[in-house]
Amino acid sequence: MISIRAFACTFALLASTAAFAGPLVVRAAGPSAPQFRAGQRLPDAPITLKAGDSIVVLDARGTRSFSGPGTFSLSAPSAAAQNVGFSDLLVQKPARRARIGAVRAGGQDQGPPTPPGVWALDIRASDTVCALDPANIALWRADTKAAQSLTVTRDDGASATLLFGAGQAVAALPAAVAGKAGALIIAGGKAPVTLTVKQIAGAPDVESLGAALVAAGCQSQFERLAANTLQN
């Protein structure tokens, strides 16, 4: 039987370890990039970057970027103001309330279109995806020029038709195939797409949500969370 003293020491060690946990790596580039893999939890300590190095990290205050050469404290607050509604990203909203488009730094269009926020699921390619509530899933398409009819089949055999109207980017997953985690096979486009839905618990802040997305293998949503909370 473990003694009370030993238990107290173990608890103190765990608490100390948690206290020194730093941010999550979103992406890195440059000579030091192999040291920083996406989703890695960094220690709460300064890092030294070489010339040509860059790293993007996510913590409870949002996403920040650093470029070398130099030594940087990842716990230092950003000089940029936080103007992103973090609370909106932590809640899985119904499809009818999802915005068409994504939050972009400086309000500018940067690169190809991506789903709005974190929770609308991209149907362009097979992926592992996360949902807080499997009964309230929104699906997103990039090409909205024409109306589109797709067939969604769940891994237990349940099937339903998914309809997008002309100009419509986001649609709710039909009730007949909603409500549970598992594989969704979407057919009727250029090629069948399989979305493997995993249910995760709610999180109190963006850092905790990011960690949950990484742990579940929902990398694309982790990257979108980072893009939606970029501070500088």
Q: Is the pLDDT of residue 122 over 80?
A: yes
Question: What digits encode the pLDDT tens for the residues 4-24?
Answer: 443 333 333 333 333 357 888
Give the list of residues 6+ apart from residue 14 with CB closer than 8 angstroms, or none: none
Considering the entire predicted model, what is its pTM?
0.75
> Does the structure show a pLDDT above 80 at 98?
no
Q: What phi, psi does 218 have (nearest 5°)?
A: -95, 65
Domain borders along the chain are 4-72, 86-228
Q: Tell me how far apart the 2 most distant CA atoms of the chain are, in Å.
A: 68
pLDDT of residue 56: 87
Q: What is the mean pLDDT of residues 75-99?
A: 60
pLDDT in the model for residue 11: 31
CB 24 within 8 A of CB 37: no
Q: Please report where in the chains the tokens 């899985």 appear, as a residue.
A: 92
pLDDT digits (tens, 9 = 90+) for 134-190: 999 999 999 999 999 999 999 999 999 999 999 999 999 999 999 999 999 999 988
Measured between alpha carbons, how far is 203 from 119 in angstroms, rounded to an integer?
Answer: 14
The pLDDT confidence band at residue 3, using thresholds 50, 70 and 90, is very low
For residue 107, name the pLDDT band (cuts at 50, 70, 90): very low
Pairing of strands 127-131, 193-199: parallel
